[in-house]
Amino acid sequence: MRRRTLGTLVLLASICLAGVVFTQVVWLGRAQQFEHEQVALQKQQQKQLDKQFSDRVTIALTDVTERILSITKDPSDLFDAVKQERPNYFAVTINDTIHPYLLEALLKQEFKRRNITDDFEYGIYDCFTDSIVYGNYVSLKDSAIADTAHHSKLLKLNKDGHYFGVFFPRRTTSIWEPKESGSITWAYPAMVTLIMFAFFAYSMWVILRQKRLGEMKNDFIGNMTHELKTPISTIALSSEVLSDPGIVNEPERLRNYAHIIHAENERLRQQVERVLQLSTLENGGPDLQRTEVDMHELVEEVHRSFAVLLQERGGIATLELAATKHTVQGDRVHLTNALFNLMDNAVKYSKGAPQITFASTNDRKHLRITVRDKGIGIKREDLKNIFERFFRVHTGNVHDVKGFGLGLHYVAEIVRAHGGKVHVESTWGEGSAFTIELPLMTDTNDNRTDR
């Protein structure tokens, strides 16, 4: 996919995502506004209903008071006798105490006449005994409820005279207050939006990663073609020379061309081995054949295999093997290949004569082997990608340093398969140090990671 096409797709996807978020915000804003309007309307309606109820109760209790005065033949006029102490509690001032049964009968009769069907409790206060004489719980709908209902402790008011109180227990508030639902309303869309953002970000990451891997794979194919073409051409040319019958009369020249064919064939073998290493990693990981491996022996073996190449380039490889415990349980072939790859990189990326150091240390549980060079180093921005397959540090000329970008990826996978870790420290222009950390044999038995 072209860079311009990918940029266009990312832009369109971003615009669509922003449009969805904007639509959700607008829709939720309007929904919340509508909810507030409905709440305000319901509050207003509830206030009106509460006021109507309070007015009907007040009128009913006033009529009850007048009937009480008429029954007791009390000529006095009780002005403003009914007081609403609470939204659901009313107090009525009277001149003397009244029998609870009479009061109950008058209240039931007047409430039914006024179409007040709410359950209520009544109580009579006697100022002579300074106490409230309880009346009864009355249910105008179901008498069974009145018999089993829990009676409330009526409020004693700060009054010196006689009064009776009427309490409506089912009316807990005078103004209806809805529960706040704003956070719940926004929670679900916010969660969906976050999931959508995460999915979008992950999709972009996958697309960009696949694009980058595609570019790296294309570089790998081009580089592999170049790496294989050169030795094949050299072998073909040398074989043509060897096919000349007269070359048998020139034994020195014959040996030189035979040596060239052998060297180029070895070069081809190594390149094919790198590709096979990649195939091994992609097919479920390496099949480890674990045995007891002395890592110092492997280091010395790899050191000897590069002796001729280092001599040709005027370089040197120093061994600083200070580890007292250096036996691990692992696959000897794969661990040798990992060390070989690190050594090969150290030689290839050295400026002039290679100066390489093999060092080993260990603690109670782990063995650490470090391959340090004084080569070109690795830039800071490349360190995070150094162990990815096909990734190669740019040196200005794509064919200046031979390779496919598979060596360090192979090293990381092999070390990880052995339950270890690989670290890199590098300064651009000064050199690099690669350290592989492996569990010692005594600890590996309990932590195998064969795949």
Domain boundaries, the chain: 25-167, 182-267, 289-444
CA distances from 27 to 16, 35, 190, 217 (A): 16, 12, 13, 47
Angle CA 378–381–387, to nearest 5: 65
* Confidence at residue 253, expressed as pLDDT on a 0 to 100 scale: 81
CA distances from 171 to 53, 124, 167 (A): 11, 21, 9
d(CA 133, CA 135): 6
Report the topology of domain 289-444. Heat Shock Protein 90 (3.30.565)
* Confidence at residue 360, expressed as pLDDT on a 0 to 100 scale: 93
Q: Are 65 and 94 in contact (CB under 8 A)?
A: yes
Angle CA 63–66–69, to nearest 5: 155
Q: Which two tokens stand for residue 203?
A: 């999709």
* Confidence at residue 1, expressed as pLDDT on a 0 to 100 scale: 56
Q: Which two tokens stand for residue 33?
A: 């506004």
* Confidence at residue 281, expressed as pLDDT on a 0 to 100 scale: 61
Consecutive sets of 10 residues in the chain, 451 residues long: mean pLDDT of each?
Answer: 71 81 80 83 86 91 89 79 88 85 90 90 84 82 63 70 87 54 64 81 80 69 65 81 82 82 76 66 68 92 84 88 91 86 86 89 91 88 77 52 66 88 89 92 50 39
Give the architecture (CATH level 2) of 182-267.
Answer: Orthogonal Bundle (1.10)
* Confidence at residue 435, expressed as pLDDT on a 0 to 100 scale: 94
Classified as helix, coil or strand, 177 is: coil
Name the residue among 132, 165, 157 with its Cα closest to residue 61. 165
Name the residue among 205, 195, 215, 191 with its Cα closest to residue 10. 205
Q: Which two tokens stand for residue 13?
A: 């996807």
* Confidence at residue 396, expressed as pLDDT on a 0 to 100 scale: 47
* Confidence at residue 31, expressed as pLDDT on a 0 to 100 scale: 78
Q: Which two tokens stand for residue 301?
A: 């073996």
Name the residue among 191, 415, 441 with its Cα closest to residue 281. 415
Classified as helix, coil or strand, 290 is: strand
* CB neighbours of residue 190 within 10 Å: 13
